[in-house]
Structure 1
Amino acid sequence: MIAKQVLNRQLEFQIQEIEQYLDSSFDNINNFIDQIFIKDSLISELNNSKLELQLQLPKVPQFNLIFQSELQSNIVQEIKPLINYKTIHQVQIKQSSDQKHQQSLIQSQQSQFKQSMDPKSQFNSKPFKYHLIKHNSIKQREVCYTIAFNKDCSILAIGCKKQIKIYEFKQGLLKLIQVLNEHKDNVFTLNFMKKSNQFISGDCVGSILIWSNNINNQFNCQQKIQGHNDAIRCLILNTNEDILISSSSDETIKFWIKQNEWICQQTITNHTNWVDQLSLNDQQNQVISCGRDKQILVIEYSKQNLKWIVIQNILVEYNGRRLCFINNNQFTFQPNQGNLMHVYEMNSVTKQFTKTKDITVNQNYDDCGLFPQQFIKQKQLLVDKHHKCLNLIRKTQNDEFKVEQSIQFDDYCLYGQMSDDGEYLITWDKSSKEIQIRKYTEEE
């Protein structure tokens, strides 16, 4: 019995050692891939068949040598096409006299390769539609300005004037389980936290409420914040959920930090009119904002100054109610006039965003600013409301944007949210006065 326990402990130790070596090896492989794009001297080494020497897998006693050899061979085969691709295009890069273009091309190649190696980022080119589940619609006569899913799409919160209605959501069906009445006026924005059973809400008199789920599975107001003196237009959280960012009709953006309670750490006052939407990048160090003063702000966190600083002010032709980061280097912006949505990309040298593409959407004027743009990474899908139309725009593998479906409503007073996995789209519009549920379906 003792010998068996000793053997088990030895086996556990060796497994842990193998895991540590594997983690270290794959970190080295990732660094190696990065070097391919920035270090030309590696090309000659790799072309001299030294790739195998660069990618040594861990040598652990009793580690299956056949498996080790097979795994190493597979990794080499995955990376060799990249080396060949780099070698072929290296001449083209050297012939270019434009240093900015060189760096942009290298970054693009690097991003595309890493994306192709990540199974979560695979593009799905199958046609799809969001179909209305008519018999699941719920009559709701009072306006619903905001809708939010919780982290696993089992709960839906809907702001119905000054009430928040909590629904259980299961297989496209809604069941009302609680009504919250703490707000004194219309609820304009809702946002569930992903790491906890909490959500935040903001109303048209500037109040922000923090809600927690108790042991009886009921939501109670945990904290009331009164930092703005006009309507809350947007609320977003960072991934760690220790920074809350709010924008308001009082023309300010506020950054809140979580201590025992949420307290205001900083206020941005560069906007000169309502601030309708905010978006935080994947790296969590930049925020973009837009509103009714014909400007987009790019706000970056400075580790040196320990505060958020406006690093770019983009002047635009028309006001815009909606914008959204696609990734760290790209965002979309929807002006409220015309038939175009704009794509902005960061210049790799200046680190400034410039407009690089226009995407044609429906022609009209949109004065409704409470349906935020939303990018669903799992489906590479952008949700963009413009006037009476909800445009579902797919980002393609060649970095283009294609309008796959436009859902036409009978009124521009249209509000909603898509689930984080892109499976369900929930809307309320003034014409139907219904909470409508649409389901993602791939077309044959």
Structure 2
Amino acid sequence: MRSKDRISYFYDGDAGNVYFGPNHPMKPHRLCMTHHLVLSYDLHKKMEIYRPHKAYPVELAQFHSADYVEFLQRINPDTQHLFPEEMAKFKLGEDCPVFDDMFEFCQIYAGGTIDAARRLNNQLCDIAINWAGGLHHAKKCEASGFCYINDLVLGILELLKYHARVLYIDIDVHHGDGVEEAFYFTDRVMTVSFHKYGNLFFPGSGDVKEIGEQEGKFYAINIPLKDGIDDTSFTRLFKTIISKVVETYQPGVIVLQCGADSLAGDRLGCFNLSIDGHAECVRFVKKFGLPLLVTGGGGYTKENVARCWTVETGVLLDTELPNEIPDNEYIKYFAPECSLRIPTAHIENFNSKSYLGTIKMQVLENLRCIQHAPSVQMQEVPPDFYIPDFDEDEKNPDERIDQHTQDKHIQRDDEYYEGDNDNDHHMDDV
């Protein structure tokens, strides 16, 4: 193991300022709450903090269809009524509403995951964190489950330029269907998803029998769980399966989606994990010492999401955090007790020992069908995506500088970038 991991952390306050609409469970404000909690514990002093670049449409189209990306860029709340066919075709509407600055929100969270992957590829860090990312349901041509752009797929596509095998692990309460579907036919990515499974539970997929097809057969692993799973059952199963997966598949890099809706008391979830139980999975994955890209995901009781991702930032930094939350801008959300840990619920665990044993046996049996890590022919590494540079002198001085270009030179009041070499920390040209 390395003595001290170099950690890159991506954050842009603009991602936390968007609003999906009244009564919508997705609250990006949880990102601001997480960030301020991270700052209040002084964790920023142990990491490199970057503002991600806003992913270009052409980067998003590395996975998504160009017409879908173009529509996301064009649509806004005032014009959506003019495009009923496209709204239906691209599955925009109730779960995935059109809201102000929606496309920019997608560009920021996707840009963070792409930047994280590039820094890992170039060995500029050992661990990269983007809590705004992890939107695992988005499909090639459609929005799904509050997700518009699948940043995880885009990040994995970057990692595949440098790594023969990428392992994707998902501990969100919902099945990581968008990522699984994108890599269902290849052995270059192994997807492992732990989730609640049932016909009436979104997205309805993720049976243990879904294992991948063609070259990808046995490279998709699903661990379908029932309501009320607790720390002991979850972490025991997680450690058994993940250690066997890493030993068998021998990935060069791991992507870990840390959806916090698997915590006890989540507004949309039905598991009974404590923050320590959830974080134990992160700690376990970190111990393999492989390059690691960590993202957020679901999580709809926002003060618990912020607690969870702050604790997990601490875990990645090998830093134990005191239970009493230091004063910060959002302290009122954590009142009255202002503590970092949350109690689990008194609910029944419907995952019997025999049920979990059967699932474990099926998964390990499927893993035995993989003789050893697949030998992938690596082609020449393609370049990081080419973004044209504009010569300042050639620009028409009368043209208004766009807002994003101006922002590159401005330090925002609500963000913290360490040190005087502030410009190094604005990763606009990765």
Which protein has the larger Cα radius of gyration, Structure 1 or Structure 2?
A: 1
More helix by share: 2
Q: Quick check: TM above 0.5? A: no
TM-score normalised over the length of structure 1:
0.26
Higher relative contact order (CA 8 A, sep 6+): 2
More strand by share: 1
TM-score normalised over the length of structure 2:
0.26
